[in-house]
Chains A and B, each alone.
Chain A
Amino acid sequence: MSDVPAPAPGRLDEPRWRVLVTPRWLGWHLFAVAAVVGMAWLGDWQFRRAISGNTLSWAYTFEWPIFAVFGVVFWIKTVRDELRPPADAGDPVEIELPVGARRPGTTDGDESGDGAGAAEDDVELAEYNAYLARLATEARGHGRWHGLR
Chain B
Amino acid sequence: MPEARETSAVDADRLRGLVVRGYRVMAYLTGSMLIILCFVGIPLQVFGHDPVIAKVVGTIHGMLYIIYLIVAFAMTRLVGMRTASAGTVLVLAAGTVPVLTFVVERWVTRRYIAPALAGAPAAAEHAAAGR
Contacts and interface: CB of A to CB of B under 8 A. Distances in A.
B is a partner of A? yes
Nearest to B85: A145
Given A70-B69, A148-B89, A81 B62 contact: no
B66 interface: yes
Contact of A144 (B59, B70, B82): B82
B82 A59 contact: no
Interface in B8-65: 55, 58-59, 62-63
B55 A78 contact: no
Interface string A54-83: 001001100100110010011001101100
Chain B CB count within 10 A is highest, among A59, A88, A144, for A59
Contacts, number: 41
Interface SS of A by simple majority: helix
Nearest to A66: B66
A86 B59 contact: no
Interface size class of A (residues with CB under 8 A): 20 to 34
A149 interface: yes
Given A56-B59, A74-B73, A63 B66 contact: yes
Interface string B63-96: 1001001100100010010111110010000000
Contacts of A81: 82-84
Interface of A: 56, 59-60, 63, 66-67, 70, 73-74, 77-78, 80-81, 86, 88, 144-145, 147-149
Interface of B: 55, 58-59, 62-63, 66, 69-70, 73, 77, 80, 82-86, 89
Interchain residue pairs A-B with the least CB separation, the first 7: A77-B83, A78-B84, A78-B83, A81-B83, A59-B59, A63-B62, A88-B80
8 contacts: A73-B73, A77-B77, A77-B83, A78-B83, A78-B84, A81-B82, A88-B80, A148-B84
Given A78-B83, A148-B89, 10 more contacts: A56-B55, A56-B58, A56-B59, A60-B62, A67-B69, A70-B69, A81-B82, A145-B82, A145-B84, A147-B84
